[in-house]
Structures are given as structure tokens and as C-alpha cells.
Amino acid sequence: MASIEVVPVTGRDRLKAFIHLPKQLYRGHKGYVAPLDLERAEMLSPAKNPYFTHAEAQLFLTLRDGQPVGRISAQICKLEQQARPGTGHFGWLDAVDDVAVHAALTDAAAGWLRQRGMTRMVGPFSFSSNEETGLMVEGFDSEPMLMMPYHAPYAAGHVTACGFAPVKTLLAYDLDKSAYKPVGSSRMLDKLQADGTIRLRGLDMKNYARDLSVILDIFNDAWSENWGMIPFTQGEIAAAAKSMKPLIDPDLVVIAEVRGEPAGMLVCLPNLLEVIRDFDGSLLPFNLFKLIWRLKMKKVRTSRIPLMGIRKAHHGSVLGATLVPLMFDRLKTPFLKRGLERVELSWILEDNLPMRRVIEGVGGRVYKTYRLYEKPLA
């Protein structure tokens, strides 16, 4: 029997192994494209990721005969403790097809959380619900998508065998341009804007920081009562604005104003994983120039809507019910003009039926499924 050892990630070599492990596991899988190593390193860095201003984490590697075969994180968010005391998170879970390796990893994460007073662990989150969330359970051969995780088909079975129970199911919708349709008639949508109560606009690049702050403030408000919601902090808003700027097309962002006040938003981003499919995570020696050229020339056919919502003040109202259809209608023309063929809308809670009806109403169909798991630690 090969020996299994779980070690904390310390030093540059183990961190590099932690980042590179998914490439070793999934290289060649249709549904997987390696994210950029530089981006992964910054996410994992307490000095560069503002998540760590309100959280602590420990990374672990599993070694078999000295070789990395699995990884996991355990993390505790102070904001999570305010909302759900005693709940710790795990994430960054990737491993070979071996239940013993998964057990060793989850036991290490559980032990770290238990030592710090946690009574329940939930995940995977890498690191929070505002980043990569859930374990893929369906759609393994589907389009790899920006900031959406990939896992092998065996992972879910091993996680449940380790004593975890499903707690929430998350859905990713695919909307093909041929199926993209407005909700309601164009005449109705025009009428709703005729008196000036509702105004739709794109993102103002001259006031980029202001508009991104508005968008994320609406997001925090819109989803504040959603399951597992942790709001973006000001530091995370600033970091998101910086990281998203190279991908932002101002016409693919919609801000809805009601009587002059921002009330809803929708952000569509080009799918970076499509652009870097052949990079294997590296920008050297010439991939940076390829990346800049491909983004500039808009050689992208797929995209993702990671942010969408309307302020709680308009939830349940007739006015509020019109905002999302109006925003989708506004998005359609620039979406087609830029040669985009498909957009992913993700993620959506399976039990969020109002939002699901809207997405299915414009032509979306579920094509990937993710799951969150929990386990008591007491």
C-alpha cells in the first residue's frame, strides 16, 4: 500500500504544486481549461487577496509516496461568523480517483476547523461564495467558463462517502443566440421606458470605479437574503474593479435606473478561458501578447453573466418585475454585434424559482449543475 501524507502548504514549492495539481489531474478533459497561474497565485496570497482582511485559511496537499495527489483548503470568514456562527468552509478540493485521498484531505480540513471552534463545515468555496462555488456534479463536457469550477465525475461520490451531505444545488444556464428572446413584446418594453421612470445605460468608462462600485453595491443589496450570501467588502469591490477592467466591454454592462437612482444591473464578461485555452496556465514567454491581441480583436464567442440583480426595494413590485427583462433586451443588440454566440448565466440556486423563470423565459437552459455539501464537526 502506498503511504498517504497530508502536509500544510508552506513555501514556494508546495504552493506551486498546489496551483499546478488540477492541470495534472484534468489536462485533456473536454470541460477543463487551466486558469492563469498568476491569477491563482494572487487569489491564494494573503497579501494580494482582500478576502484575507476578514478571513484566515490553511492550504493542504496530500502526498502519496512523496507526490502530490490531492489538495484542499480550510477557511474561516469573520463575516460568515456574524451570520452563521460556527460555520467553517472548505474549498480548492481536487484529487485523484481515490476515496482514501479525499478522506485524508477532508479530515485535515475538518481538524483545522474544529481546533478553531467550528462546529460545521460547508463547501467547496474557493474561497467564498463570491468566487468559485460548488462541486461540479453534471455537465463535465460542457464549455469551460470564467470563474466556474471544474471537477472530475468521481469527486461527488467520494465526498459523500466521506460523510458529507448535500445542502444546496446550484445551476448554470446556457443561452444560445438562436434561442435569445425578450420577455414580453418590444412595444411593451418601449412603453415601460417612455415616461422616463426607467432609464437603461451602459457602463461609463470615464467613471469606471464609480459604476463598478454601484454595480457591486446593488449586488450586495439584491442578494443579501440569499442562502450563504457574504457581501463584497470595500476592499473586495476595489480588487474586483481592478481585475475585471481588462475584460469589461461597457456596452455589455447594463445599469437600470428608476427615477434617477440605480436599481438594477447586469454584467456580461467575455469568457477568458476560451481565450487562454492553449496557454496551460502560463503567460510566458509570448502568451501575454496573445491574450492582449485576442481580447482586443474580440475573438471570443462565449461569455458569462456573473452579476445580475435588482435592489430589494423593488422586489415583488410590478416595476421590479420589468427591470430584468428590460436589461436582457438592452443587452441583446451589443451581444450579437460583438459576434458572441453563447452566454452562461451562473450561478443560480435551484430553489430560486423567480430568477429561474426569468432566465428560462429569455431562452436559457440548464447545462451544468454544482452542489454544496456540509458535515457536522461536533
Series of mean pLDDT values for 10-residue runs along the chain (378 residues): 88 97 96 96 95 97 95 96 95 98 98 97 94 96 96 98 98 93 61 77 94 93 86 87 89 93 95 94 90 82 94 87 87 91 95 89 94 95
Q: Is 218 helix (H, G, I), strand (E, B) or coil?
A: helix
Retrieve residue 100's grid coordinates: 482514501
pLDDT of residue 189: 59
pLDDT of residue 229: 85
Convert the pLDDT of each residue in 290-329 to its tens digit: 988 888 776 799 999 999 999 999 988 878 888 888 898 8
d(CA 56, CA 128): 12
Say whether pTM exceeds 0.85: yes
d(CA 247, CA 145): 14
DSSP-H helix ranges across the chain: 11-26, 37-44, 78-83, 99-115, 155-161, 186-194, 208-222, 234-244, 272-275, 287-296, 318-337, 353-361
CATH number of 4-170: 3.40.630.30
pLDDT of residue 320: 82
Length of the chain measured in residues: 378
d(CA 347, CA 304): 10
d(CA 247, CA 63): 37
pLDDT of residue 318: 79
d(CA 133, CA 149): 7
Retrieve residue 167's grid coordinates: 445542502
pLDDT of residue 183: 61
Tally Cβ neighbours within 10 Å of residue 3: 8
d(CA 305, CA 266): 7
d(CA 257, CA 155): 44
For the chain, the first-to-last Cα distance in angstroms comes to 31
The number of helix segments (H) and strand segments (E) in the chain equals 12, 15
Class of domain 176-370: alpha beta
Classify burial at 214, counting beta carbons within 10 Å of its beta carbon; exposed 0-12, middle 13-18, buried 19 or more: middle
Q: What are the start and end residues of each CATH 3.40.630.30 domain in the chain?
A: 4-170, 176-370
